Structure 1
Amino acid sequence: MKQYEQLDKLIADYGGVIQTYQVVAEGISKPTFYNYVKVRKLEQVAHGVYVLRDAWTDSLYLIHLRCEQAIFSHETALFFHDLTDREPAPYSITVKTGYNPTRLKADGIHVYTVKSELHPVGRTTAQTSFGHTVPIYDMERTICDLIRSRKGIEIQIFQEAMKQYVRRKDKDLRTLIQYAALFRVEKILRQYLEVLL
């Protein structure tokens, strides 16, 4: 029973989310942990990731735990960067081409794919409202992603994001142009910037 108390404390310390490797690192065996999962009725949300049923869960952090290569992008990144006031629904992530996103898509997550050499371009991190650190794309990469996916994004969201970006003091136009060249959207980007700047 002492180990159950240890597990109760551990899951409380991790905000209601616990991973098998964290339990094993504390010297608790997997069979003991799996019994604990049954007794406490924890919910398995991904391979090796369990949450308390009544816990307020950090959806963004859980997506990150489920798919570590996923980087929050598009409308979700816009929200993190305060380039939109619309809460992202569904969440958008970008993964490397070749990753099977079927389960994520089934859970209502918008999944974009990109060549593996372009996947890390502009990767940074941000804090969720629960205080967890998750990977997101920086503002400049996000703007390029919006231009690349503009046919699938609401025109109001796209236009507002572009206007907000141009007004920002912390924008980096040089990096934006470099990214635009990499993603082959430089010509379209320049057309938008000519109107907005």
Structure 2
Amino acid sequence: MKMNSVILEALKKNNNVITTAQVVELGFSRYLLSKYEKEGLLERERQGVYVLPNSVHDDMYTLMLRSEKIIFSHDTALFLNGLSERTPFVHSVTIPNNTRVSKVIQEECVCYYIKPELHQIGMTIRKTTLGNEVRCYNAERTICDLLRSRNRLDEETVIGAVKNYAASSDKDLNLLAVYASKFRVNKELKRYMEVLL
């Protein structure tokens, strides 16, 4: 059995990944994916996400494909923004508190919940190490998130993040001040910045 050329082309354009929704959008039945999986033409990476066999797996990208609501945050966003060298073992995501995500995502990630009106603030697109684009927060929002969640994180991560941000040539201190006010971490930010600057 050979794979349909339209699906194969879509897979190749999408770094060897395709979702059930994308296949249906192309006008094919979701049953076709199960058939391809049984034949060994595709591997099921996660629920609703398929990859070509023997292709390199981009867990951040396939995780993001599972839900439109998740945005990579905290230590994962630090890594994506180039403010940390450490690739997180478990990815951190932020979700609006009026949304439910699958149990699999809850078990696989560190989930942070926030008011829906604050969810999109600072969202940007960054590339993973494998070149796929994912949603994450910009550096300024990430610093504010780390300060808000400092009781759930180790102090070393927070200090390292603020230190790397302070040394960054891309920093926007005005935007950081606006976000610090929105997320009510002005005092904490001032305290950390006074020590480091």
Q: Check whether TM > 0.5.
A: yes
> Does 1:58 find its partner at 2:63?
no
1:17 positional shift: 1.6
1:9 positional shift: 4.9
The aligned residue for residue 81 of structure 1 is 81
The aligned residue for residue 11 of structure 2 is 11
- For the structure 1 residues 142 and 23, does the alpha-carbon distance in structure 2 shift closer, same or farther, using more than 3 Å as the test? same
Contact 2:159 2:192 in 1 (8 A): no
What SS does the aligned partner of 1:99 have? Answer: coil
What SS does the aligned partner of 1:118 have? Answer: helix
TM-score, normalized by length of structure 2?
Answer: 0.88
The aligned residue for residue 116 of structure 2 is 116
Counterparts of 1:165 and 1:5, CA distance in 2:
46
TM-score, normalized by length of structure 1?
Answer: 0.88
Counterparts of 1:83 and 1:30, CA distance in 2:
40
Aligned length: 195
Contact 2:72 2:93 in 1 (8 A): yes
What SS does the aligned partner of 2:116 have? Answer: coil
> Does 1:70 find its partner at 2:70?
yes
1:154 positional shift: 1.6
| Paired amino acid for 1:11 | L
Q: Deviations over 1:130-188 (max 9, x none)?
A: 21110110110000001001111121121111111111121111111111111111111
> Does 1:192 find its partner at 2:185?
no
What SS does the aligned partner of 2:121 have? Answer: coil
Counterparts of 1:194 and 1:3, CA distance in 2:
60
The aligned residue for residue 135 of structure 2 is 135
The aligned residue for residue 97 of structure 1 is 97
Q: Gaps spanning 5+ residues in structure 1: where?
A: none
Q: Gaps spanning 5+ residues in structure 2: where?
A: none
- For the structure 1 residues 23 and 141, does the alpha-carbon distance in structure 2 shift closer, same or farther, using more than 3 Å as the test? same
What SS does the aligned partner of 1:82 have? Answer: coil
Identity value in percent: 39
